[in-house]
Amino acid sequence: MKSQVQQVISHLERALLSGRYTPDQRIPSERDLATKLGVSRATVREATTILISRGMLTRRRGDGTYAVDRAEHGMAQIWMDMTQQHPGLQADLVEFRSMVESRAAELAAKRHDQQDRKRLTEALAAVDAAYSGNQREEQIRSDVEFHRAIADATHNPLFSTLMSSLLKLLHEHVQLSLAGVEPDSATAQQLRQQHRALAAAILARDVDHARLLAGSHMQFVATQLNALANG
């Protein structure tokens, strides 16, 4: 017999796969789903968190939970399948992400508009606040949103889809993440500074500096991940 959490997951999966919830559409609130399905809000929250980790939903701070594009979800699954077949692929993915991040920062500095500026500024504030605390889930969410904001500012949908699925894989599936660091640690302080500098370069339309900062940020991430893997 399925657990209540699994029942909620199955209900939402059917709704997502049938197109009842379209990409970027907000799903019903925890309270509404709990009432409809006859379960607790905690059960709904656990089920949606699992679907977020699978790339089928995304949670927007203060604005609810939204459906993710099925193509994006499919790409996330491709990444996950690759890492399962090739256990040593994590380092290659970080190397590949470094290339994508550098080019995305460069294009974002060139192409961003006023809406992108607002979103990036808000995303920076959120990630800065997250790394001043030690809540792993919030650090993951805000870090993904920050880099997704940069990718979206390229105005090239391929960057948005690729970056989102790659970040989900690295943070949720591979479980090698810088999230969960203590707020007073050197790592947390460096991450906050790197995010601030990168956002500032993009907002200043300093294309070359943005590219270099994105590359150095990813070099730092790669170094830290290697330390985690070998620790």
pLDDT per 10-residue tile (average), the chain, 231 residues: 82 80 86 94 91 80 80 57 62 82 96 95 93 79 87 88 73 49 80 95 98 93 64 50
Co-location of 42 and 147 in the same domain: no
- 60 and 115 share one domain: no
Structure tokens at 160: 């948005």
Q: Are residues 78 and 176 in the same domain?
A: yes
Backbone angles phi, psi at 60, to 5 degrees: -105, 125
pLDDT at 200: 98
Half-sphere exposure of 68 (CA within 13 A, CB side): 25
> What pLDDT shows up at residue 167?
74
Of 141, 169, 176, nearest to 62 (Cα)? Answer: 141
The CATH number of the domain holding residue 57 is: 1.10.10.10
pLDDT of residue 214: 96
Tell me the C-alpha distance between 142 and 6, whole Å: 27
